[in-house]
A and B are shown apart, each in its own frame.
Chain A
């Protein structure tokens, strides 16, 4: 199995501040891969470097081809759906319009896609005419996932889906992510502070500290690692 996404010595900076130092990682097709690490380690920036929302150097290969500087819109059209931190839904638009935007790059009716997506997010089905801003935090996160999934991405970049949600909702969101992965073959690169739940969902993981990858391995290996236990899992 070849890697769907490969990062080789990727660097990124905000002005003079170096945020990523030669990051290299790989995401296998059909896998869920977690990136763990403390606040400010560069997790979000890693995703932004992939989707082209920050300037980057180094090499990124996606689906066998180098990902040029196409910018976020171009990257989305190549089949990478980025669900940013804070969800990136449009509060002023309706649920339906948000979903419509997800399929922006495709022609024709999206009814079939919406119906299929709604089977994974039944809570959204009855709210399609509602403004997205009136949804609860959990529903908004689901809408963000649904909008990204309707893009029919080969790879989904998920940034802190647990942020600000109650534990039950977090479990629900991750259940859906796993379901999409298993039933639809969706590949996911996941950034999380909640290492416990992230490692449950992912098969492999990377640990990022101050812009460098300090550790990588399968979820089981990472769970068994003493340093990880002490810093991230708390037991």
Chain B
């Protein structure tokens, strides 16, 4: 009873914090067009963080491993998309072909390099993902290194003017794309037999296999889905953040995605998106209002945030408290 009460109070506090944040943003946007402009931009970049954070959460939920290579995988698939466009595919054709390639690549990597070590220990698996990080970095530098590249604008350069606030088509479009992929993943897990089997395999692999679920295959599909979400994040992050397409361009995004996942709770898909948006907005406001200081301090800020969350609320805003029977 006592514990239930504290959980209830905690819920209330978290809801209050989120509500206060929303009201703050709303009031800010209504009183200042500049504030609103920063916020809109922050929401859009936050969506990219959220998509990558969601990829991290998917793999963490299934195997309790943080995939450090998630950002580099996304970077790799973004280069693949660039290459496809160079070869003459239209943007959206390249977009969907890239998602398919990302899915197969994620599955392939799980089978080839994760599966052999996953039964040893979590640490072994994490180290393999760090190795993948370095490997992918090297391969991309070797194949596509050299001059700066950038992707074409998927939604054009236009913008709407809403009460003096400039909202780029890009921001709306990419928010839509990320929300659509979130909805796709959610529906897959919620409504399909495959999704149910994947959840079962993540919750209790031994029991799932007794029901005929091939747990290894489920883990591979999970990696495929995560790589697919990462590809969405990479494709959307490149034009939105305005970074050039370099082999390092997803590394910052990955740090923000970590922060987003930590903030939202590593167990919570919704938390990943909410966390991503919160961090994107916070970052945009900070840079917008204190450009001299903040543009230099962006990364330290993200790390400080991760540290603070881990100290104050290790399970994040939406995470479940781990209760273990002693």
Q: Per-residue 0/1 for A82-108: is the Cβ within 8 Å of any B Cβ (1 yes, 0 no)?
A: 101000111011000100111011000
Q: Is the CB of A72 within 8 A of B210?
A: yes
Q: Is the CB of A73 within 8 A of B213?
A: yes
* Residues of the B chain whose Cβ atoms lie less than 8 Å from the Cβ of A73: 209, 212-215
The answer to whether A5 has its CB under 8 Å from any CB of chain B is: no
Q: Chain A's nearest CB lies how many Å from the CB of B200? A: 5
* Residues of the B chain whose Cβ atoms lie less than 8 Å from the Cβ of A82: 210
Q: Chain B's nearest CB lies how many Å from the CB of A154? A: 14
* Residues of the B chain whose Cβ atoms lie less than 8 Å from the Cβ of A151: 211-212
* Residues of the B chain whose Cβ atoms lie less than 8 Å from the Cβ of A43: none
How distant is the Cα of A82 from the Cα of B210 in the complex, in angstroms?
Answer: 6
How distant is the Cα of A155 from the Cα of B196 in the complex, in angstroms?
Answer: 25
Q: Per-residue 0/1 for A146-189: is the Cβ within 8 Å of any B Cβ (1 yes, 0 no)?
A: 01000100000000000000000000000000000000000000
* Residues of the B chain whose Cβ atoms lie less than 8 Å from the Cβ of A100: 193, 196
Find the B residue at minimum CB distance from A105: B212
Decide: A92 near B203, CB < 8 A? Known: A100-B196, A104-B197. Answer: yes
Q: Chain A's nearest CB lies how many Å from the CB of B199? A: 7
Q: Is the CB of B210 within 8 A of A76?
A: yes
Please provide the chain B residues from 189 to 205 with a CB less than 8 Å away from any CB of chain A in the complex.
193, 196-197, 199-200, 203-204
Decide: A88 near B204, CB < 8 A? Known: A104-B193, A104-B197. Answer: yes
The answer to whether B207 has its CB under 8 Å from any CB of chain A is: yes
Q: Is the CB of A84 within 8 A of B212?
A: no
Q: Is the CB of A101 within 8 A of B203?
A: no
* Residues of the A chain whose Cβ atoms lie less than 8 Å from the Cβ of B200: 90, 93, 101
Q: Is the CB of A76 within 8 A of B199?
A: no
* Residues of the B chain whose Cβ atoms lie less than 8 Å from the Cβ of A104: 193, 196-197, 211-213
Decide: A84 near B207, CB < 8 A? Known: A90-B200, A101-B196, A104-B197. Answer: yes
Tell which of A88, A92, A93, A97 touches B210, judged by Cβ atoms closer than 8 Å.
Answer: A88
The answer to whether A77 has its CB under 8 Å from any CB of chain B is: yes
Q: Per-residue 0/1 for A132-144: is the Cβ within 8 Å of any B Cβ (1 yes, 0 no)?
A: 0000000000000
Tell which of B207, B209, B213, B215 touches A89, judged by Cβ atoms closer than 8 Å.
Answer: B207
Decide: A88 near B206, CB < 8 A? Known: A93-B200, A100-B193, A101-B196. Answer: yes
Question: How many A-B pairs fall under 8 Å by CB?
Answer: 59
* Residues of the B chain whose Cβ atoms lie less than 8 Å from the Cβ of A30: none
Decide: A93 near B203, CB < 8 A? Known: A100-B196, A101-B197, A104-B193. Answer: yes
Q: Is the CB of A76 within 8 A of B197?
A: no
The answer to whether B136 has its CB under 8 Å from any CB of chain A is: no
How distant is the Cα of A84 from the Cα of B206 in the complex, in angstroms?
Answer: 10
* Residues of the B chain whose Cβ atoms lie less than 8 Å from the Cβ of A89: 207
Chain A interface residue count, CB cutoff 8 Å, equals 23
The answer to whether A38 has its CB under 8 Å from any CB of chain B is: no
The answer to whether B282 has its CB under 8 Å from any CB of chain A is: no
Find the B residue at minimum CB distance from A102: B211
Q: Chain B's nearest CB lies how many Å from the CB of A132? A: 11
Q: Per-residue 0/1 for B205-226: is the Cβ within 8 Å of any A Cβ (1 yes, 0 no)?
A: 0111111111100000000000
Q: Chain B's nearest CB lies how many Å from the CB of A148? A: 8
Find the B residue at minimum CB distance from A51: B210
Q: Chain A's nearest CB lies how many Å from the CB of B208? A: 7
* Residues of the A chain whose Cβ atoms lie less than 8 Å from the Cβ of B206: 53, 72, 84, 88
How distant is the Cα of A72 from the Cα of B215 in the complex, in angstroms?
Answer: 10
* Residues of the B chain whose Cβ atoms lie less than 8 Å from the Cβ of A51: 210
How distant is the Cα of A177 from the Cα of B210 in the complex, in angstroms?
Answer: 19
Find the A residue at minimum CB distance from B214: A73
How distant is the Cα of A207 from the Cα of B209 in the complex, in angstroms?
Answer: 28
Q: Per-residue 0/1 for A52-96: is the Cβ within 8 Å of any B Cβ (1 yes, 0 no)?
A: 010000000000000000011100110001101000111011000
How distant is the Cα of A104 from the Cα of B193 in the complex, in angstroms?
Answer: 7
Q: Is the CB of B212 within 8 A of A76?
A: yes
Residue with the greatest number of chain A CB neighbours at <10 A, chosen from B196, B211, B212 = B211
How distant is the Cα of A71 from the Cα of B199 in the complex, in angstroms?
Answer: 20
* Residues of the B chain whose Cβ atoms lie less than 8 Å from the Cβ of A72: 206, 209-210
* Residues of the A chain whose Cβ atoms lie less than 8 Å from the Cβ of B214: 73
Q: Chain B's nearest CB lies how many Å from the CB of A74? A: 8
Please provide the chain A residues from 184 to 223 with a CB less than 8 Å away from any CB of chain B in the complex.
none
* Residues of the B chain whose Cβ atoms lie less than 8 Å from the Cβ of A71: 209
* Residues of the A chain whose Cβ atoms lie less than 8 Å from the Cβ of B193: 100, 104
Find the A residue at minimum CB distance from B211: A101
* Residues of the A chain whose Cβ atoms lie less than 8 Å from the Cβ of B207: 84, 88-90
Going nearest first, the 10 A-B pairs with the smallest beta carbon separation are A76-B212, A88-B207, A72-B209, A105-B212, A73-B209, A73-B214, A82-B210, A101-B211, A77-B212, A104-B212
Residues of A within 8 A of B (CB): 51, 53, 71-73, 76-77, 81-82, 84, 88-90, 92-93, 97, 100-102, 104-105, 147, 151
The contact sample of 18 A-B pairs, CB cut-off 8 A, is: A53-B206, A73-B212, A73-B215, A76-B209, A76-B210, A76-B211, A84-B207, A88-B204, A89-B207, A90-B200, A90-B204, A90-B207, A93-B196, A93-B199, A93-B200, A101-B200, A101-B208, A102-B211
